[in-house]
Structure 1
Amino acid sequence: MKTVIFDLDDTLLCGDSEFKWAEFTVEKGFIDKELYIKKISEFENDYRAGKMDFEAYCVFLLNPLIGKSIQEVNFLVTDFINQYEKTLIDSLSYELLERHENDQKIIASGSLNFIVKGFSDFFSIDTFFGTPLEIIDNKVTGNLAGVPTFAEGKLSTMQKWSEENNFQLEEAIFYTDSINDLPLVKACKNSIIISPDAKLEKYAKENSLEIIYR
Structure 2
Amino acid sequence: MTELALFDLDHTLLPIDSDYEWGQFLVRTGAVDAAEFKRRNDAFFAQYQAGTLDPVEYLEFALGTLARYPRRELDTMHAQFMDEVIKPAIRPRAVELLQKHHDAGHLVGIITATNRYVTAPIARALGVEHLIAAEPEEDAQGNLTGRLVGTPTQGPGKVEHMHAWLDRLGHRFDQFERSHFYSDSHNDLPLLSVVSHPVATNPNATLASHAARLGWPSLHLFND
Do these two structures clear the TM 0.5 threshold for a shared fold by scoring above it? yes
Which letter maps to 2:213? Answer: E
Question: How far apart, CA to CA, are the structure 1 residues paired with 2:98 and 2:47?
Answer: 30
Question: How far apart, CA to CA, are the structure 1 residues paired with 2:67 and 2:45?
Answer: 23
The residue aligned with 1:156 is 160
The answer to whether the 8 Å contact 2:134/2:152 transfers is: yes
Any stretches of 5+ residues in structure 2 without a counterpart? Answer: none
Secondary structure of the structure 2 residue equivalent to 1:128: strand
Is 1:189 the counterpart of 2:196? The answer is: yes
Question: How far apart, CA to CA, are the structure 1 residues paired with 2:219 and 2:17?
Answer: 18
Cα deviation 1:7-34 (Å, max 9, x = unaligned): 1100011110001100111123222221
TM-score, L = length of structure 1: 0.91
1:163, CA displacement in angstroms?
A: 3.3
Cα deviation 1:123-144 (Å, max 9, x = unaligned): 2211111101111222211111
1:41, CA displacement in angstroms?
A: 2.1
Question: How far apart, CA to CA, are the structure 2 residues paired with 1:202 and 1:76?
Answer: 39
Alignment of 1:1-214 (within 5 A): 1=1, 2-102=3-103, 103-137=106-140, 138-164=142-168, 165-168=170-173, 171-213=178-220, 214=222
How many residue pairs match? The answer is: 214
Question: How far apart, CA to CA, are the structure 1 residues paired with 2:123 and 2:73?
Answer: 18
Secondary structure of the structure 1 residue equivalent to 2:37: helix
The answer to whether the 8 Å contact 2:24/2:38 transfers is: no
Question: How far apart, CA to CA, are the structure 1 residues paired with 2:16 and 2:185?
Answer: 12
Secondary structure of the structure 2 residue equivalent to 1:125: coil
Give % identity: 27
Question: How far apart, CA to CA, are the structure 2 residues paired with 1:166 and 1:13?
Answer: 28
TM-score, L = length of structure 2: 0.87
The answer to whether the 8 Å contact 2:159/2:191 transfers is: yes
Secondary structure of the structure 2 residue equivalent to 1:193: strand
Any stretches of 5+ residues in structure 1 without a counterpart? Answer: none
Question: How far apart, CA to CA, are the structure 2 residues paired with 1:18 and 1:90?
Answer: 18
Q: CA RMSD in A?
A: 1.9
Which letter maps to 1:131? Answer: A
19-28 or 94-103, which deviates more: 94-103
193-202 or 78-87, which deviates more: 78-87
Cα deviation 1:29-82 (Å, max 9, x = unaligned): 222221233212211221111110112222222223225344443333222111
